Amino acid sequence: MSLFMDVGKSLFFWVFLFSLFRFSFSFTPAENYLLSCGSTINASLLDRVFIGDSSKLASGFLSGDRSVSLTDQNPSPDSPTLYRTARVFTGESRYKFDIKRNGTHLVRFHFSPFSAQNYKLESGKFDVSVNGFLVLSGFSTNAVVIKEYVMNLDLGELNIVFCPVEESGFGFVNAIEVFSAPKDFIIDEGVLLVSAHGNEEYNNLSSQVLETVRRINVGGSKLTPVNDTLWRTWIPDDDFLVLKPAAKRAVSTQVPNYLSGGATREIAPDNVYMTAQQMNRDNMPVNSRFNITWQFPVGSKGARHLVRLHFCDIVSPAIGQLYFDVYINQYSAYRDLDLSSLTFHVLSAPVFIDFVADSDDSGFMGISVGPSSLSSPMKVNAILNGVEIMKMVNPQVSNAVSKKKNVWIVVGSVLGGFIVLCLAAAAAAVLLALRCKKEKRKPGPAESIGWTALRVYGGSSHSRTTEGTVHTSTGPNGYHSLRIPFTDIQSGTNNFDKALIIGMGGFGMVYKGVLRDNTKVAVKRGIPGSRQGLPEFQTEITVLSKIRHRHLVSLVGYCEEQSEMILVYEYMEKGPLKSHLYGSKYPPLSWKQRLEICIGAARGLHYLHTGSAQGIIHRDIKSTNILLDENYGAKVADFGLSRSGPRLDETHVSTGVKGSFGYLDPEYFRRQQLTDKSDVYSFAVVLLEVLCARPAVDPLLAREQVNLAEWAMQWQKKGMLEKIIDPHLVGQINPSSLKKFGETAEKCLADYGVDRPSMGDVLWNLEYTLQLQESGQQESHLDNDTNGTEHATPGITPSTSHRIGNLARSDSSDMTSSQVFSQLMTNEGR
């Protein structure tokens, strides 16, 4: 069973779907409570209806009986109906909401003071608690204020308690909103804590109660609830700019490309991403480098905040020119930010990045953007499109709330904190186990997507993805297009004969088959209820029909009939590389064979990265995704049908770590920055697997050996990599070849992507490694200093081979390639 294409997991191919699908819907919250307080009738605000909290419909929400309804008798003509009534609390009062959908919610309070009867609402002073979190303490206002909180709510009750303080004797509220946030509104991955001590990952953002403090449309105009998908207000940034002449507005007319970015229209509306501030070099001396800085008053000193920055490159004429640094309170928050790497190299694609930082001692949050050291002098620029600053509300109870409750809330939060700590401590240990487990996990019911999705986009879905590229030509299988009739596949696989199953995975079964023209194929057939859906299917077809290369497994065709989703690939006789390295009965491969396989795979990857206009990142390079044909020719496999490809409903491409444990680029893990250098990292792990004949992660080994990359690098740094190579290779590898190989892997495993070589460089280095091996064999034959089991090429004079040997032994990386190759050529010429 090992001769098979392992389709099982992960066919991660990040490609883009461009903006094929444009969303033009308004957001409908899954849970939506809107209350007009102190009113018996409903009030509308924009397209939303607020139910009167004294109406029959609203009974059950209000459980305090120490409140009165108040109506403004002399409202100003422009005041909305919603603000003409208020509920006044003369004692502790409570609103209760049934939470039937857990997850992130937005909670808003509207305060619009007026005077009626004996109440002058602006003199009210009160506390407000939400599920035990004191969100407003001693609050009072003489102007219209909307307070907004973002928090995760569990199933059950949401309790909002109003409590008058001191002698004011009352509190009030005009309206309350409680509604579910869009999916992934707050996510825990990819959040950076920025401080004097450098950056680290911040965990558990979603468990925080966040209070919106600032919401800024940088470079743009004021946006009111009517302009915003979530009825938010965004204000311009001008008043917060420290040096106005440093900034210049940028305005785009192009609708943001949400599909390629990490943000959605609910994260921020079009208008936020269509305007920005950029460096105003007109006002500055030529070639000067400077920051644009904003200082936002946040009202509390040294308090922890979420700072969400919105970016959309609407200023670059071409991709790959904009590199800039981001600072929060003068601490480096993000170095060399390359938006294109977060957006699949598409301009005008919105991205947001979450930071956690403390406000400074004067109660300000300073944000700067400025050119990075990577920007070329002529293209120096930096941008910012939007800012949201949200304060983390500390668990704290209202003094006014009854004692007994206090105790429980305190105990609850202390316990909660403790549990969080324990979880954090355990996380590292558990991570590994979890990851390994995850690999083997079968799709759970919650993940299942039925095939019904297949027709969602109607008949045009295919013309959209494959039109013009494949339909007009005769495919390699002799069919007029890549479409293969279902009946042909049926007969070619003996009606999906179980005996022909050669693999199994999240997508479904893989069968060995034969087409009408006797081509041997591997047939991947999706199963109903599989977690793999239409977009991945389309992605695979789109990518593979456009890209063909000797070292990439090619798509022979596909079938989309009768709710079937079937992909047909060329058959790879010898199966995955992994099974020829360890854990099977195959004879061990020679060093030369291994190098040739690595070179082939590197060529395929190099082509992926550079062969198409946009470049494609594989994202799941590992030894099971490199397949061998009957001649041990290597091809990179597994495209598009990934369980987490850029699905239409999954937009956080810039966040969320994907890939296989052990192969995962640590920088990608840390910074959520996806580049082709992540593939380079994973490829290096494959190189080490090839050399050491052991898995990337082996939890059964001693702790320092578990992770192959770490372990091998320890030996590499000691210059003793030969100690851990596959025993079958001992005595076979020329030391200079091994040295070069080790150096190549080491460079590819550099912490930062920028320090890693490109796939092109890797390819060159591997070819060189092979050259060194071949010339070294000649040397070993003549010098007889290794137990040469291979035959040397006859007819070289000792003097030449000695020269080559010495050259190869010296630090080859210090030498220009032409020097070495001219030596090799001299050799061959004789």
Ligand X SMILES: *[C@@H]1O[C@H](CO)[C@@H](O)[C@H](O)[C@H]1NC(C)=O
Q: Which is nearer to ligand X, 373 or 562 (CB)?
A: 373
Residue 86 contacts residue 174 (beta carbons within 8 Å): yes
CB of 82 to ligand X, least distance (A): 18
Q: Which is nearer to ligand X, 11 or 223 (CB)?
A: 223
Q: Which is nearer to ligand X, 368 or 716 (CB)?
A: 368
Side-chain-facing half-sphere of 776: CA atoms under 13 Å: 27
CB of 217 to ligand X, least distance (A): 8
User: How far, CA to CA in Å, does 659 sit from each of 14, 444, 465, 642, 681?
Assistant: 11, 19, 25, 10, 12
Q: Which is nearer to ligand X, 226 or 415 (CB)?
A: 226
Q: Which is nearer to ligand X, 44 or 221 (CB)?
A: 221
Taking the C-alpha atoms of residue 247 and residue 458, their distance in angstroms, rounded to an integer, is 47
Q: Which is nearer to ligand X, 205 or 387 (CB)?
A: 387
Amino acid at 20: L
Q: Is 788 in the site for ligand X (CB under 6 A)?
A: no
Out of 36, 93, 112, 368, point to the residue binding ligand X (CB under 6 A). Answer: 368
Q: Is 290 in the site for ligand X (CB under 6 A)?
A: yes
Q: Is 226 in the site for ligand X (CB under 6 A)?
A: yes
CB of 253 to ligand X, least distance (A): 12
Q: Is 382 in the site for ligand X (CB under 6 A)?
A: no
Candidate segments 55-63, 289-297, 564-572, 714-722, binder of ligand X by CB under 6 A: 289-297
Candidate segments 57-65, 222-230, 452-460, 583-591, binder of ligand X by CB under 6 A: 222-230
Q: Which is nearer to ligand X, 291 or 778 (CB)?
A: 291
Binding mask 399-428 for ligand X (x = CB under 6 A): ------------------------------
Q: Return binding residues for ATP.
A: 524
CB of 289 to ligand X, least distance (A): 4
Taking the C-alpha atoms of residue 277 and residue 692, their distance in angstroms, rounded to an integer, is 52
Residues designated as active site: 620
Give the dihedral of Cα atoms 699, 700, 704, 706; nearest 10 deg. -40
Q: Which is nearer to ligand X, 194 or 449 (CB)?
A: 194
Give the dihedral of Cα atoms 173, 177, 178, 181; nearest 10 deg. -140
CB of 194 to ligand X, least distance (A): 12
* Spacing of C-alpha 477 from chain mean position: 37
Binding mask 259-278 for ligand X (x = CB under 6 A): ------------x-------
Out of 36, 39, 291, 493, point to the residue binding ligand X (CB under 6 A). Answer: 291
Candidate segments 223-231, 477-485, 721-729, 799-807, binder of ligand X by CB under 6 A: 223-231
Residue 554 contacts residue 569 (beta carbons within 8 Å): yes
Residue 640 contacts residue 15 (beta carbons within 8 Å): yes
Site for ligand X in 730-759 (CB under 6 A): none
Out of 370, 575, 645, 805, point to the residue binding ligand X (CB under 6 A). Answer: 370
CB of 386 to ligand X, least distance (A): 13
Q: Is 642 in the site for ligand X (CB under 6 A)?
A: no
CB of 76 to ligand X, least distance (A): 21
Out of 94, 183, 281, 289, point to the residue binding ligand X (CB under 6 A). Answer: 289
Q: Which is nearer to ligand X, 271 or 773 (CB)?
A: 271
Residue 218 contacts residue 386 (beta carbons within 8 Å): yes
Give the per-residue SS3 of 317-377: CCCCCCCEEEEECCEEEEEEECHHHHCCCCCCCCEEEEEEEECCCCCEEEEEEEECCCCCH
Give me 265's structure tokens.
């229209």
CB of 271 to ligand X, least distance (A): 5
Out of 142, 221, 254, 460, point to the residue binding ligand X (CB under 6 A). Answer: 221
The DSSP result for 1-65, as a single string, is --SS---SS----B---TT-S--------SSEEEEETT-SS-EEETTEEEEETTSGGGTTSB---
CB of 293 to ligand X, least distance (A): 7
Q: What residues have CB less than 8 Å from 634, skipping those under 6 apart?
A: 551, 577, 596, 597, 598, 599, 600, 601, 604, 626, 627, 628
Candidate segments 208-216, 236-244, 284-292, 602-610, binder of ligand X by CB under 6 A: 284-292
User: How far, CA to CA in Å, does 151 sit from each of 74, 126, 332, 493, 819?
Assistant: 36, 21, 28, 53, 64
Out of 227, 448, 614, 705, point to the residue binding ligand X (CB under 6 A). Answer: 227
Candidate segments 74-82, 283-291, 523-531, 742-750, binder of ligand X by CB under 6 A: 283-291
CB of 230 to ligand X, least distance (A): 14
Q: With the C-alpha atoms ordered 702, 708, 710, 711, is the resulting torsion angle positive or negative? A: positive
Taking the C-alpha atoms of residue 807 and residue 819, their distance in angstroms, rounded to an integer, is 9
Q: Which is nearer to ligand X, 290 or 711 (CB)?
A: 290
Which helix (H) or strand (E) segment holds residue 567: the answer is: strand 566-570
Size of the site for ligand X (CB under 6 A): 12
Taking the C-alpha atoms of residue 683 and residue 655, their distance in angstroms, rounded to an integer, is 22
Beta-bridge mates of residue 136: 128
Side-chain-facing half-sphere of 326: CA atoms under 13 Å: 23
Candidate segments 61-69, 112-120, 287-295, 661-669, binder of ligand X by CB under 6 A: 287-295
CB of 353 to ligand X, least distance (A): 17
Taking the C-alpha atoms of residue 105 and residue 185, their distance in angstroms, rounded to an integer, is 9
Taking the C-alpha atoms of residue 599 and residue 633, their distance in angstroms, rounded to an integer, is 10
Sheet-wide strand order for 575-576 = 575-576, 626-628, 634-636
Taking the C-alpha atoms of residue 788 and residue 776, their distance in angstroms, rounded to an integer, is 10
Residue 132 contacts residue 99 (beta carbons within 8 Å): no
Residue 61 contacts residue 29 (beta carbons within 8 Å): no
Burial class (CB in 10 A: 0-12, 13-18, 19+), 155: exposed
Q: Which of 134, 154, 162 is nearest to 37 (CA)?
A: 162
Candidate segments 38-46, 76-84, 204-212, 220-228, binder of ligand X by CB under 6 A: 220-228
Site for ligand X in 295-334 (CB under 6 A): 327, 330
Q: Which is nearer to ligand X, 193 or 521 (CB)?
A: 193
Q: What residues have CB less than 8 Å from 484, skipping those under 6 apart?
A: 477, 515, 556, 557, 558, 559, 566, 568
Q: Which residues bind ligand X (CB under 6 A)?
A: 221, 223, 226-227, 271, 289-291, 327, 330, 368, 370
